[in-house]
């Protein structure tokens, strides 16, 4: 075995001894308190075939045990996780990352050339500060829009689930709920995702997961600018409670002058209005489907003009966002439109009979402050207009002789006018 004491001491000097693995957040698990087993020179690296320190741990409850598969030197050369071999920055396969950054793989395949290349890379890693990748990946400084769109921002812990129980598939599993494997229907064996090779994944060739992601990138939607050139507002959705006004301003100010930033906390969205249309188009192009602030992927859309928003509004039970609204039971229907007013016809705001005089209107007004209302039975007599004890109705204003009558109180035929006149003479 490789760990046996032998005379080949030169190769043993190149064996790896580490204190902690290089892992992504998904493989490490969601539990902050985790226990690992460390086996010094436990297995050979599946890429360079050199013994390295193997770490083994359980990422969470009802998850399968995981272990490191490649050494840290091979992990640092490609900037990938030692277990899943996915990129540590984007969470994508190596083939997708190299395609997005236009990097050509230069790792040799033969054993002798591979050993020579690994030694040179170890020397370069030792001379660096350890915070940046080395090799061709370290020279690629520009980022890719495709990688930002496909990047995974949150851990995918579902990848740590146990494998499917083969005995349960055959109907022979006798463990029941104590079985550590999944009792689910297996996937299609002809599915290309079921045939994955760790060396092809590391070298970035013939990777079915990478082919699937590249096809998805080619069919991604685009955000076309509206035809109305007066629109300079962008809609930002999915803010949550962590994204603030300052975070949006610090990201979007690089594209041009910002006129206003309006945050609608109830809808968890914001509207950013730029001073020029050119700045808004650049911000939409650079931020659509790849805007990540404080770990949240935000939605970027174009705003709508005020005229279009006023014309569309909410009609036929459809909101501004295009969602169908269910009718609320118990609410009254829509009011009928007001009738067309004729300029010559007098305005009748109280729907009174045209033959009715304003003098017969009894409008009960509240008493002024400080005066108590009269007790029942002592107030002015109230009669029904059509009752037998009602006073005679005065003729309408149109049938009275012309006079200087401008208000109902000046009408000598109004109710109570003669009594007031007689009392005035009696005094």
pLDDT, tens only, 368-407: 666 666 665 555 555 455 555 555 665 555 555 555 555 6
CATH of domain 233-309: 3.30.70.330
Contact 206, 191 (CB under 8 A): no
- For residues 209 and 198, what is the distance between their CA atoms, to the nearest angstrom? 12
Say if residue 266's pLDDT is above 80: yes
In sequence order, the 6+-apart residues with CB closer than 8 A to the CB of 318 are 324, 325
Top pLDDT among 196 and 69 is at 69
Indicate the average pLDDT of the chain: 78
pLDDT at position 110: 81
Which of 51-65, 130-144, 236-250, 324-338 has the largest mean confidence? 51-65
- Looking at residue 306, its pLDDT comes to 62
Q: What pLDDT score was predicted for residue 46?
A: 92
- What is the mean pLDDT of the segment spanning 313-325? 50
**Poorest-confidence range of 310-319, 361-370, 374-383?**
310-319
Contact 261, 245 (CB under 8 A): yes
Query: Burial letters for 321-333: b for 16+ Cβ neighbours within 10 Å, e otherwise?
Result: eeeeeeeeeeeee
Closest CA to 167 of 159, 157, 178: 178
Cβ burial, residue 48 (10 Å; 0-12/13-18/19+): buried
At 356, is the pLDDT very low, low, confident or very high (cuts 50, 70, 90)? low
Task: Provide mean pLDDT across the span 185-207.
Answer: 84
In 196-305, which ranges are continuous DSSP H helix? Answer: 198-203, 208-218, 245-252, 277-287
Q: Of 65, 21, 275, which Cα lies nearest the Cα of 160? A: 65
| Predicted pLDDT of residue 405 | 53
Domain limits, CATH 3.30.70.330, in the chain: 233-309
Predicted structure pTM score: 0.55
pLDDT attached to residue 381: 54
Mean pLDDT of 15-38: 91
Residue with more model confidence, 288 or 190: 288
pLDDT above 70 for 1:
no
Question: Which pLDDT band holds residue 92 (cuts at 50, 70, 90)?
Answer: very high
pLDDT for 32: 84
pLDDT score, position 274: 92
**Count of CB atoms within 10 A of residue 237's CB?**
14
Q: Say what the pLDDT of residue 360 is.
A: 47
Written as one string, the DSSP assignment of 135-204 is: THHHH--S--HHHHHH---S--GGGGPPPBPHHHHTT----GGG-SSB-S----TT-GGG---HHHHHHT
Residue 316 — pLDDT band, cuts 50, 70, 90? Answer: very low
Mean pLDDT of 11-22: 82
Would you say residue 230 has pLDDT above 90?
A: no
Q: Is the pLDDT of residue 63 over 90?
A: yes
Q: Is the pLDDT of residue 351 over 80?
A: no
186 against 344, higher pLDDT: 186
Q: What integer pLDDT is reported at residue 7 of this predicted model?
A: 46
Q: Is the pLDDT of residue 168 over 70?
A: yes
Per-residue pLDDT at 115? 83
Predicted pLDDT at 14? 74
- Mean pLDDT to the nearest integer, 132-156: 79
Q: Average pLDDT, stretch 182-193?
A: 82
190 pLDDT band, cuts 50/70/90, is: confident
Q: What pLDDT band is residue 201 in, cutting at 50, 70 and 90?
A: very high
């Amino acid at each position: 075995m490789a760990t046996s004491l032998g005379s080949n001491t030169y190769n043993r000097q190149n064996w790896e001894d580490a204190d902690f693995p290089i892992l992504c957040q998904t493989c490490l698990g969601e539990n902050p308190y985790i226990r690992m087993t460390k086996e010094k020179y436990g297995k050979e690296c599946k890429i360079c075939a050199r013994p390295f320190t193997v770490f083994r741990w359980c990422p969470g409850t009802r998850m399968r045990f995981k272990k490191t598969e490649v050494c840290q030197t091979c992990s640092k050369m490609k900037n990938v996780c030692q277990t899943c071999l996915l990129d540590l920055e984007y969470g994508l396969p190596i083939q997708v990352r190299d395609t997005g950054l236009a990097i050509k793989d230069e790792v040799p395949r033969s054993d002798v050339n591979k050993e020579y290349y690994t030694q040179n890379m170890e020397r370069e890693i030792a001379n660096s500060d350890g915070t940046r990748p080395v090799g061709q990946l370290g020279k690629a400084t520009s980022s890719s829009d495709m990688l930002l769109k496909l990047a995974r921002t949150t851990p995918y812990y579902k990848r740590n689930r146990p494998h499917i129980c083969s005995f349960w598939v055959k109907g022979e599993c006798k463990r029941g709920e104590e079985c550590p494997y999944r009792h689910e229907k297996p996937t299609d064996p002809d599915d290309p995702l079921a045939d994955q090779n760790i060396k092809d994944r590391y070298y970035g060739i013939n990777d079915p997961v990478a082919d699937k992601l590249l096809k998805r990138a080619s069919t991604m939607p685009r955000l076309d600018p509206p035809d109305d050139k007066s629109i300079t507002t962008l809609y930002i959705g999915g803010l949550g409670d962590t994204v603030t006004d300052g975070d949006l301003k610090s990201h979007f100010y690089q594209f041009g002058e910002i006129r206003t930033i309006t945050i609608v906390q109830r809808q968890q969205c914001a509207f950013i209005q730029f001073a020029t249309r050119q700045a808004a188009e650049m911000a939409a192009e650079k931020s659509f489907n790849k805007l990540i602030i404080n770990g949240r992927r935000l939605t970027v859309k174009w705003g709508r003009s005020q005229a279009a928003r006023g014309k569309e509004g909410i009609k036929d039970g459809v909101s501004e966002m295009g969602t169908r609204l269910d009718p609320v039971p118990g609410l009254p229907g829509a009011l009928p439109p007001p009738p067309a007013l004729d300029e010559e016809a007098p305005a009748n705001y109280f729907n009174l009979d045209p033959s009715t005089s304003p003098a017969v209107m009894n409008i009960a007004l509240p008493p002024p402050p400080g005066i108590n209302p009269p007790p029942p039975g002592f107030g002015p007599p109230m009669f029904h207009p059509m009752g037998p004890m009602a006073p005679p109705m005065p003729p309408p204003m149109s049938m009275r002789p012309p006079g200087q009558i401008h208000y109902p109180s000046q009408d000598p035929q109004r109710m109570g006018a003669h009594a007031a006149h007689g009392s005035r003479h009696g005094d």
